[in-house]
Structure 1
């Protein structure tokens, strides 16, 4: 049975308002609504849409958000911890310092998003993709980007400890000052990556990786050697 759709525009949203719509088996579309600080934890919001919404400090803890669509939303410090976001789509959203800890992000996609300072520890990520995103200072420990094409991603100062970038291709990306303890780059194509500030304490991390002559000269200089 197809659900009927209710569109809310320009409203300040509370949990009772959403619960009442869900009780009527409504598919909800929110446009230019204010959910700042709202507690929407554990609600079943699968297939719902959020456009131009304010989500600052809203809680979606353990909510069911599969196949949701998020466009041009602003959600600093929003909480998506333990949420089910399988096949969700985020477009041009500002989600700085949001928490995604232990979220299910299989087949989720972030495109044109600001995710500075966001926390992605222990997420389920099979098929997760980022494109043209700011991940400056984000916590991405132990995530796998193996064989991925990383297009316009800024990992500056991000914690990439234990990440797997084997055979990944970096296109116009930045690793400047990233934390790369136990990170693997075997076979990666790093020629279009900004490697400034990296501390190469273990060259084995980069076994088989491809860099440009300019990058090689810069890395040698960081070791205190002169290139002539």
Structure 2
């Protein structure tokens, strides 16, 4: 079923969504729309307004979101396997309990989003802004993480083992029990590094300029 340019805000669509159909939403207003527990596997959302849309417990496996978005979308406990988000505003979105195996975020705005407590074997983030986001306990083992801002993000307990950071920022990120074993941080802006943050980067590879900055902050000059 196709929904083109419809104002679906503050409505429940349960009675309009057949479980055996693929649904396409183009340019729709889904502000505060009730899609709790909806069957939306393979659905497409193109340039839709998603402010406070309720996708809790929905089946969104293989869904594609392109453009649009809005603050405080609720994906808690939803199935999001193989979901693709491209250029979507997901600021302050809630993903607690969501199954995010092989989900991908590309060019997305995830400022203040909460992904802590999400489930699955991992998701990928590229060229996205996760400033102030909460990723506590998430795994990005072995990922190539390109163009991502983690400024002031909570990365406590995250696993970045063997991950490669390219054109990324980690300024002010919370790194309590974060794992960077065998990760490559040469392409990351690490910000100011106190002793606690330096300990968090144990086992990682950094470049000469980063090492010089760390030593210079401690009054040690490298000639």
Contact 1:48 1:69 (C-alpha < 8 Å) held by counterparts: yes
Aligned pair partner of 2:26 in 31, 36, 46: 31
Cα distance, 1:153–1:146 mapped onto 2, change above 3 Å: same
Aligned pair partner of 2:55 in 57, 60, 68: 60
Distance 1:20 1:125 in 2: 30
Contact 2:49 2:70 (C-alpha < 8 Å) held by counterparts: yes
Does residue 95 (structure 1) correspond to residue 54 (structure 2)? The answer is no
RMSD between superposed Cα atoms in Å: 1.9
Distance 2:119 2:177 in 1: 20
Contact 1:187 1:206 (C-alpha < 8 Å) held by counterparts: no
Most deviating of 38-47 and 212-221: 212-221
Structure 2 unaligned residues grouped into runs of 5+: none
Contact 1:141 1:162 (C-alpha < 8 Å) held by counterparts: yes
The residue that corresponds to 1:172 in the other structure is 167
Q: Secondary structure at the match of 2:17?
A: helix
**Alignment: residue pair count:** 222
Offset, 1:220: 2.4
Contact 1:15 1:40 (C-alpha < 8 Å) held by counterparts: no
Q: Secondary structure at the match of 1:124?
A: coil
Contact 1:175 1:198 (C-alpha < 8 Å) held by counterparts: no
Offset, 1:16: 6.0
Matches within 5 A, 1:98-117: 98-117=93-112
Cα distance, 1:7–1:185 mapped onto 2, change above 3 Å: same
Matches within 5 A, 1:77-88: 77-88=72-83
Q: Secondary structure at the match of 1:141?
A: coil
The residue that corresponds to 1:3 in the other structure is none
Most deviating of 27-36 and 123-132: 123-132
